[in-house]
Structure 1
Amino acid sequence: MPSPWIWAPPGVAALLFLLVLATGSNRSIFLWLNHGGQVLGPAVWLHLTMLGDGGVALALVLPTIRRAPRAFWAALVAAVIAGLWTQVTKQVIDLPRPLGVFAPEFFYQAGPAYRHVSFPSGHAAAAFALAGIWVMGVGRHWLLRAALLLVATLVGLSRIMLGVHWPLDVLWGMLGGWIGAWLGLAMYGRRGWRTSGPGGFLVGALLLAVAAWLLVSRHIGIPAIMPMQRAIGSVCLAWGAWEMLRMLAPMGWWRAQKRRWDG
């Protein structure tokens, strides 16, 4: 029987989605969570929501390029699937955001004042895609698995706490991200792609560009998280570049360059 770590997270998300949909409690749960979550203060939720940004999520994949090629390729596949899951759904179902339903003084809202295309949450999908890769692949480390699930859940909840998504948006995003992670791991299990070849270096170079972009980009639209965004970009850029340089050693390139430098 498959491990509960594989089927329980998407099962719970699907069950809660159906429950909220059947009871028509989407808006009431949103208001309850949005008001109650402010006890932690906006800074906590703003920084958590940053972790679900697509650019940040891709940069966080970069340091695994040499040490964990399975996680690297599976995460990239999961990112594509989760992106399609959210964007296709958004094109089919155009629901108003909370700011398009409630008056601004009725709830807490931070960040860009979005009013349309609410369903589903891309941040929740990205967070659960990354978390799913590791939760389904770290073996017996149950504490790490639980911590990753907790962080991913908090990232999803941050979209409600900041007033930009409904509970149904978040739950559907969680489900899509987890499915993407499962499919990514399954595809890697069949293909077994390497990261030390030209394809791996090309993708790595693209992710290096993403990490560098985080140093200057203001695409998230939240000035308060810029220092943390730049810190993540800097760490992932330096770490990823170092891992890619180390991958060159088995190919003989690094030794040849060292001999040339030594004269």
Structure 2
Amino acid sequence: MNKLATQFPHWAQDPMDDPSAGMKLAYGFILTAAISLIVVAATPGLRLTLFHDFNNLGPLAPAIWSGFSSLADTYLALGLLLPVLLWRPKLAALLLLSAILATVMTHTLKPILDIPRPPAVLPLDTFHLIGHRLDHGSFPSGHSVTAFTLAGLLIIGLRLSFGTALLTLAGATLLAISRMAVGVHWPTDVLAGAVIGLVSVLLGQRLLNRWKSLHNARWTTPAGLFITGLCGLTAPWYNTGYPEGIWANWTVAILSLAVLLLASRWYWPSYRNRKRLPLRDLGRS
């Protein structure tokens, strides 16, 4: 059995069991974000006011917000998931399915709505723009979708407690807010991204409950580990468009290398003693 799961037995439960307190919090967060989205969208003045309020945070710590925005990039976010998949390999199926659902919803809405971003609407001297300029495809925020898909995977896949799930959602919220802090998204984009990200994971879980063959498929684990490992180890050479946030790229790379070295201490003895390590045994000792 996984050594870490032995130390934290409540994380060792099957992620497809009954909803935990963390999952209930996720449902509540979706409802709150959806209602907020409707209210802000129906009040154009409020949308602009909120944008400026959050955008004014950017100049206070441009490197921090640039890094947060980089961490919400899908490439770096996948790298962040490497430690999770090494810990709970079966989550690879949920990751792949959730990512597909989130991508389809996001890139279907963006071209259809084609809402202009703040730099295309507001005079550049009226707000703060950090990093590269983006003008179109504002709704929804793809980075916010990624941040909350990542949060949903952790909450649902690891069956986090209420307090830990709350911290996870708070972290995703910070990453999403960074999109307004750097000046490329409206509050409505961020709220929609939060809803789509969490809903994608919840839908993915429901589909896996019905699609047992995919849940138990052996290929999802090596595929998930390859993708997340590749993104993590090559993060320093990936251009997120935010030079000041390069610390985020190196953080992901160092974390990925460290967990791979640590994981080798768990997996190598099994491989050496048994000559081979079946894919279904990944994450077990």
Tell me the TM-score normalized by structure 2: 0.79
Indicate if the aligned counterparts of 1:70 and 1:188 stay in contact, CA closer than 8 A: no
- Pair 171,243 (structure 1): closer, same or farther in 2 beyond 3 Å: same
Q: 1:74 to 1:245 in 2, by over 3 A?
A: farther
Gaps of 5+ in 2: 1-17, 277-285
Which of 57, 66, 81 is equivalent to 2:77?
A: 57
Say whether residues 1:97 and 2:117 are aligned partners. yes
In structure 2, the CA distance between the partners of 1:83 and 1:172, relative to structure 1 (3 Å rule), is same
SS in 2 for 1:45: helix
8 A contact 1:5–1:135 mirrored in 2: no
1:67 counterpart = 2:79: no
Aligned residues: 254
Secondary structure of 1:165's counterpart equals coil
User: What is the identity, as a one-letter code, of the residue corresponding to 2:52?
Assistant: L
The residue that corresponds to 1:209 in the other structure is: 230
The residue that corresponds to 1:193 in the other structure is 215
Q: How does 1:175-190 map to 2 (within 5 A)?
A: 175-190=195-210
In structure 2, do the counterparts of structure 1 residues 193 and 202 end up closer, same or farther at CA, with 3 Å as the change threshold? same
Give aligned-pair identity as a percent: 27
Pairs within 5 Å for 1:21-40: 21-24=41-44, 25-35=46-56, 37-38=57-58, 40=60
Counterpart in the other structure of 1:260: none
Q: For 2:181, which of 156, 161, 166 is the aligned residue?
A: 161
Letter in 2 for 1:28: T
Question: 1:226/1:39 Cα in 2 relative to 1: closer, same or farther (>3 Å)?
Answer: closer
User: In the alignment, which residue of structure 1 is the partner of 2:97?
Assistant: 77
TM-score under structure 1 length normalisation: 0.85
CA RMSD of aligned residues (A): 2.7
User: 1:42, 1:162 → 2: CA distance?
Assistant: 8
Whether the 8 Å CA contact 1:65–1:240 is kept in 2: the answer is no
The answer as to whether partners of 2:67 and 2:247 remain within 8 angstroms in 1 is no
Q: Does the CA contact (< 8 Å) of 2:119 and 2:183 recur in 1?
A: yes
After TM superposition, give the deviation of residue 77 of structure 1 in Å. 1.9
| 2:107 corresponds to | 87
* Deviating more after overlay: 127-136 vs 173-182: 127-136
Q: Name the structure 1 match of 2:5.
A: none
After superposition, give the CA deviation of every residue in 1:93-128 in whole Å (9 maximum; x if it has no partner): 111110111111101110111111111101100111
Of structures 1 and 2, the one scoring higher in RCO (CA 8 A, sep 6+) is 2
**1:228 CA drift (Å):** 2.7
Deviation digits for residues 2-58 of structure 1, max 9, x if unmatched?
A: 7531311110110001001122232232123222x2474222211211221000111
Aligned with residue 41 of structure 1, among 50, 61, 70: 61
CA distance in 2, matches of 1:69, 1:122: 26
